[in-house]
Amino acid sequence: MIPLVAEHITVSFTRRGRGAFKALDDVSLTLPPGSAVGLIGESGSGKSTLARVLLGLIRPDAGTVRIGERTLFTPSYPRPAKEVQMIFQDATGALNPRQTVFAALAEVLTVIRGLRDGRAALADRVTALLEQVGLSADTAARYPRELSGGQCQRVCIARALAVEPAILIADEPVSALDVSVQARILRLLRDLREQRGLSLLLVAHDLAVVGAVCEHAVVLQQGRVVETGTPAELFRNPQHPYTRRLLNAVPVLE
Amino acid sequence: MPPAYQPPASTAPLLEIGNLTISFAGEAGWVPVVRSLSLTVAPGERVALIGESGCGKSMTCLAVGRLPPTDQACLGGRIRFEGASLLDDPAAMARLRGRRFAYVFQDPSASLNPVMRIGDQLSEAMPTGHDDDGTPPVPRHARHQRAMELLARVKLPDPAALLRAYPCELSGGMQQRVMLAMALAGSPRLLIADEPTTALDVTTQAEVLNLIDSLVRENGMSLLLVTHNLGLVAGRCDTLHVLYVGQVVESGPVAAVLRHPAHPYTQGLLRAVPRLSSVGSGELHDIPGTVPPPAQLPPGCTFAPRCPYRDTACDEAPALLPIDAQRHCRCHHPRLRHGVPPAATPPEGQP
């Protein structure tokens, strides 16, 4: 149960011959312990850059990221944060095709967590992780190609949980999945948040997906926060024209 | 530019698939992945194939071009395009595929040749005059100009620079537009789009779908669109076929099916689309279970194990029967109105 506070984050990328490009411009974001926040914006709006900053993979030009008591990118916290884990849109692509599910999870447990308690104990931990994400123990022997997209995404979530993070960043976790299984993954994320007190930052383009899981939403456009509020507020009464445009871009049945 | 499209005077379907069966060799004999599937696409009609992964949507599309590997797959039934039989006439296939009907596939980065410039790939797709297909050939000196025109038609900026670019220099959305331009190079009458936006960045999906929509309208083409998301077909297609493990389980006009889905599977797919109206209620719907592998189909109704309305009648396989003038449903208990089981429907005349 650790809060994450990012304040005044600015990130620029230098482009050869064309000057600097501001990917993030004075973005602040607070993730209270156990909360779920949705980050909405189209490609190029800086969603992924912000996720990388929060993971400690990109050092911002200005601004601070505090995870609990410590501040990222300072001598007290120099390396990427283990408290923050990420899952990606392309779950199949995020898994090593030549590694079984067991190997993928065991690698995290032994290398990152540094557990050295024998193969039997390791197998128990892998089984426990798989159970948490709703997969049976025999999934451990499978390769990613033998699994469906939804199962691969569950393995990715299990792998993120293996690090025992306090904060989970999910970058478009369901947009590559069949609609019939999207709800199951979203429900899993919601349950994990409730059961483990995980904070969740859900990056998505679909405001309906954000609305189903998050109680707060942040709209990002060209590196700036243009609107914040509860998902219901944003849908019912979008203030910024960009939010309105995003709402219109999502195919709706109603 | 090619001559403007004139719709044929007759109402004969452009594409007619009858009793199509596709089987693959499995360990214990032939495994059918598509089972006696029939559908037609009329000139100018936009038809959608819907279903989860593994329901035979893509296989059906590929079979039209005889693209499944013939050494492993067995194709039965008939596929007729503009009257020519595609399954047993290789000459007709060579004449029609890529010319009279063209494909756009799911992953544009895998469809494009990574070491060829965009311009060269576009030129390669143009009619040469050696195909005996009746399309006027594009002479060598005119190809650059024609390629520019094609890129402009798919609304890509700065075509001249793009022609010299390699696929890796383009975003996924731009690559898919190039694939569309290549499909248009033969002035097709039918565009087969197999999950054309699934591999794209989610925010460019609507753009590419709208582009396909406007190209189909402008050129009077027919469209066969494959997708798993029912939300995408509303307003973009005329007719809908819902596939489940290789069979059509429901078909009819898009608006009617979306308003009153009759098959429990269609209802499940529709409910699974996240909706803005349910925001705040915390409701999330899915379809329990998974699509059974084609080698292990359950006896009787194949959807019964996942169906909330199953009963003893479902031990027998249902037939695809008409439920009104335009719609068909393969279910013993079609939901005829608002998802209320017929038994619980109040008698006519009551609210």
Task: Identify whether the C-beta of residue B100 lies closer than 8 Å to the C-beta of residue B188.
Answer: yes
The per-residue pLDDT for A45 is 84
Burial environment of residue B190 by CB neighbours within 10 A (0 to 12, 13 to 18, 19 or more): buried
Model pLDDT, residue A244: 84
Digit-coded pLDDT (tens) for A181-231: 888 899 999 999 988 889 999 998 788 888 889 999 999 998 999 999 998
CB atoms < 10 A from the CB of B160, how many? 11
> CA-CA distances (angstroms) from residue A121 to A9, A118, A132, A196, A241?
42, 6, 17, 22, 55
CB contact at 8 A, A147 and A156? no
pLDDT at B91 (0 to 100): 85
pLDDT average per 10 residues of sequence, chain B (351 residues)? 47 91 88 93 95 89 87 89 89 87 91 95 84 71 92 91 92 91 93 88 79 93 91 89 95 93 92 75 80 88 93 93 92 71 41 38
- The token pair at A176 is 């590559």
Residue A174 CA neighbour count, 13 Å, CB half = 28
Residue A169 has pLDDT above 80, yes or no: yes
Residues of A in contact with B226 (CB under 8 A): none
Return d(Cα B228, Cα A177) in angstroms, integer.
9
Residues of B in Cβ contact (< 8 Å) with A251: 206, 209, 229, 231-232, 234
Count the Cβ atoms, other than its own, within 10 Å of residue A115.
15
- Nearest chain A residue to B209 by CA distance is A251
Chain A contacts of B52, Cβ < 8 Å? Answer: 178, 180
Q: At A196, phi and psi to the nearest 5?
A: -105, 0
Count H helices, E strands: chain B? 10, 12
Q: What residue ranges in A44-107 does DSSP mark as E strands? A: 62-67, 70-71, 84-87
Alpha carbon of A92: minimum distance to chain B alpha carbons (Å) = 13
ipTM above 0.85, yes or no: no
pLDDT at res. B88: 86
Please indicate if any CB of chain B lies within 8 Å of the CB of A235.
yes
Token readout for B180 is: 């569309």
Phi, psi values for residue B257, rounded to 5°:
-65, -40
Q: For an interface test with A, which of B52, B229, B276 has the most A Cβ atoms less than 10 Å from its Cβ?
A: B276
Give the number of other Cβ atoms within 10 Å of residue B273's Cβ: 21
Cβ-Cβ contacts under 8 Å, A207 against chain B: 276, 279
Q: DSSP 3-state assignment of A129? A: helix
The whole-angstrom separation of Cα B337 and Cα A218 is 39
Q: Do A212 and B283 touch (CB under 8 A)?
A: yes
Query: To the nearest whole number, what is the mean pLDDT of chain A?
Result: 88
b/e map A145-159, b = 16+ CB within 10 Å: eebbbbbbbbbbbbb
| Separation of alpha carbons A132 and B283, rounded Å | 21
Residues of A in contact with B275 (CB under 8 A): 208, 252-254
**SS3 at position A249:** helix
Name beta bridge partners: B329. B250, B321
Tokens 């995020």 label which residue?
A94
Q: Taking CB atoms and an 8 Å limit, are B230 and A247 in contact across chains?
A: no
The residue count of chain B comes to 351
| Contact assignment for B202 to A211 by CB distance below 8 Å | no
Q: Residue A252's pLDDT band (boundaries 50, 70, 90)? A: low
The distance of B272 to chain A (nearest Cα, Å) reads 5
Could you please report the per-residue DSSP string of B63-85?
HHTT-S-TTTEEEEEEEEETTEE
Interface mutation vs chain A, best among B201, B202, B233, B249, most A CBs within 10 Å: B202
Verify whether the Cβ–Cβ distance B286 to A184 is below 8 Å: yes
Say if strands A62-67 and A4-15 run parallel, antiparallel, or are unpaired.
antiparallel
Spatial contact of A23 and A49, defined as CB atoms under 8 Å apart: yes
Taking an 8 Å cut-off on Cβ atoms, the answer to whether A250 and B206 are in contact is yes
Q: Are B215 and B221 in contact (CB under 8 A)?
A: yes
Helix (H, G, I), strand (E, B) or coil at A162: helix
DSSP state of B217: H
CA-closest candidate to residue B34, choices B306, B334, B302, B228: B302
Residue B88: partners with Cβ closer than 8 Å, 6 or more residues away: none
Mark yes or no for CB contact A212/B278 under 8 Å. Answer: yes
In A16-75, the residues whose Cβ lies within 8 Å of chain B are 42-43
Compute the average pLDDT of residues A60-82.
87
| Predicted local confidence at residue A128, as pLDDT | 93
H helical segments located in chain A: 47-55, 101-107, 118-132, 149-162, 179-196, 207-213, 231-236, 241-249
Amino acid at B347: P
Give B-chain residues touching A172 at CB under 8 angstroms: 202
pLDDT value, residue B256:
92
Structure token pair of residue B129:
């005059």
**Within its chain, how far is the Cα of B246 from the centroid?**
14
User: Rounded to 5 degrees, what are φ and ψ at B8?
Assistant: -60, 150
Closest CA to A203 of A58, A52, A77: A52
Q: Do A179 and B228 touch (CB under 8 A)?
A: yes
In the structure encoding, which two tokens stand for residue B88, read together? 């047993």
Q: How far is the C-alpha of B345 from the C-alpha of B339, rounded, in Å?
A: 10
pTM, rounded to two decimals: 0.82
Inform me whether the C-beta atom of residue A183 falls under 8 Å from chain B C-beta atoms: yes
Interface contact A120, partner B, CB < 8 A: no
Tokens of A144: 């990613």
Name which of A148, A249, A253 is nearest B53 (Cβ-Cβ): A148
Q: Order of strands across the sheet with A4-15?
A: A19-31, A4-15, A62-67, A70-71
- Measured between beta carbons, the chain B residues lying within 8 angstroms of A250 are 206, 231, 276
Min CA distance, B62 vs chain A (Å)? 20
Q: How far is B89 from chain A (nearest CA, A)?
A: 36
Among residues B292, B293, B294, the alpha carbon closest in space to that of B307 is found at B292
- Distance (Å, rounded) from C-alpha B303 to C-alpha B301? 5
Alpha carbon distance A221, A23 (integer Å): 10
Look at A232 and B279 and tell me if their CB atoms are within 8 Å: yes
**A80/A203: higher pLDDT:** A203
Evaluate whether A41 touches B202 at the Cβ level (below 8 Å). Answer: no
- A66, HSE (Cβ side, Cα atoms, 13 Å): 11
pLDDT at residue B350 in the model: 39
Model pLDDT, residue A176: 80
CB environment B92-119: b (16+ within 10 A), e (fewer):
bbebbbbbbbbbbbbbbeebbeeeebbb
B345 token code pair: 């429907």
Please give the average per-residue pLDDT across A78-100, as a whole number: 89
H helix intervals, B41-142: 57-64, 90-96, 108-111, 118-124
3-state secondary structure of A20: strand
Contacts of A75 (CB under 8 A, 6+ apart): none
pLDDT at site B182: 95
